[in-house]
Structure 1
């Protein structure tokens, strides 16, 4: 009998875990992941468990003689078959365990079943400590080149948040040829803006996935104006921390217009901060048309023209100077997440 492909199995599990009973009551997953490939696959679908438990079983013999008498030996558990299964298990498990470093508990099942159950129950009922004081839903706003992507990556790394880049989300939908991707593709081909309604549906779908609900998220690239901001209001999509990264036009031009890409290796350089090592490489570097001074000025102007209304919409937003060392900016962001929101003076 052939095994079910990991891709199909992961999709079926994803569909089941999205059901209302699983979302409200929680779930216990057994039998998958059996391999590192499956573990990575379910991670990519947003299936992130809160607890991971490993058992090693020996036996559980029924005390009633009547039950003992009618027991039969199932197929596939001969000594040779069992040894093969154990060997395969141990080969895979050592590659799966590193994926769950902070939520893993190993329980020896070579003890009474009741003891195994209560050890597992105690662990499941334990609230894991988090670096964040609440489930963060962080929104980073700022002009192109303000460092939103870097700060989002740093926050995601430290606090375990899901990094949601709106632009990347659109590209992935097209690459996956999903139902939204088919709608988005024509706009990409014509280099036109994707309609807000389509972006909202795709974004809300992502923010509703289990990893975003459980771990929190940091969003950048959307909203760009008040109308888009209103679309995020409601359910679990309203951000509880909003930051505006302000960077002057001169600094943005310096950051973006000096970026170059090596068409041979794909390596990215910056003529000031990360210059190419040789003149040969420098001679073949290319500039993305979007990084031209004209385009950078246009995009920056478009953001700041709508920025005032957006800041007014998010009354509790925190404005930061993004024109400084990235790790200094990150410290300010951390402070804004950990500390209570400031009271606005009317």
Structure 2
């Protein structure tokens, strides 16, 4: 299957993408991974992306699209892939359609993870990260430490990242609504959109997504 995963920040796209890709035996292709791989390997696209990033500028669509096209052309993606974080806007979606048509393939589904805005803010703004080890993550509601402000694993101080503040989260949601959300309508006209609730436990959402992709909605 060839799938695009869409949803607001805090919807759990990265987590669901990993599980769905494993269940469907297709590669999980995320924008972040594309950038890291191309930059670390020193590809021409990676060098171009790094120059923009180092200057504090957004990476142009054509660079991102070029990376995605290269990745989708690799052998492990021959029978399908799951795109996470790409396309990010309608122009990228249109470019993806052109690239896929050139290879005589098409998308099978666009999986839209739906989460109420207040829940997104609650999920992200409630995160607390350990200063000693950022892989130790807690939440003021869903995964509280035994002692407030102290990491259960190593005793490090727990803090809220600046990117996780409520004001920042709401600004990220505004960007999502204006730039990324329109691709849902774009793909809906093609009959590709499958919308599911991303509320609940991780395995429940995965099962819901798998059923929806199989047509058991």
Do these two structures clear the TM 0.5 threshold for a shared fold by scoring above it?
Answer: yes
Structure 1 unaligned regions, length at least 5: 1-135
Deviations 1:252-281 (A, max 9, x none): 111111222212133222222222344572
- In structure 2, which of residues 113, 125, 146 is the aligned counterpart of residue 257 of structure 1? 125
What SS does the aligned partner of 1:335 have? helix
Structure 2 unaligned regions, length at least 5: none
Q: Which residue is 2:143 aligned to?
A: 274
Q: Residues of 1 paired with 2:119 and 2:16: CA distance?
A: 17
Q: Mark the CA change 1:280 to 1:151 in structure 2 (over 3 Å): closer, same or farther.
A: closer
Report the CA distance between 1:301 and its aligned residue.
Answer: 1.7
Q: Which residue is 1:224 aligned to?
A: 88
Of residues 200-209 and 305-314 in structure 1, the stretch that sits farther from structure 2 once superposed is 305-314
Q: Residues of 1 paired with 2:78 and 2:54: CA distance?
A: 33
Structural mapping, 1:1-346, within 5 Å: 136-214=1-79, 216-233=80-97, 234=101, 235=103, 238-266=106-134, 267-279=136-148, 281-282=150-151, 284-306=157-179, 309-315=182-188, 316=191, 317-339=193-215
Query: Which protein has greater RCO, CA pairs closer than 8 Å, 6+ apart?
Result: 2
Q: Residues of 2 paired with 1:328 and 1:279: CA distance?
A: 29
The answer to whether the 8 Å contact 1:144/1:252 transfers is yes
Aligned residues: 205
The answer to whether the 8 Å contact 1:213/1:236 transfers is no
Q: Residues of 1 paired with 2:55 and 2:160: CA distance?
A: 21
Q: Residues of 2 paired with 1:170 and 1:153: CA distance?
A: 18
TM-score (norm 2): 0.84
Report the CA distance between 1:322 and its aligned residue.
Answer: 1.8
Report the CA distance between 1:303 and its aligned residue.
Answer: 1.6
Q: Which residue is 1:109 aligned to?
A: none
Q: Residues of 1 paired with 2:85 and 2:127: CA distance?
A: 20
Larger radius of gyration: 1
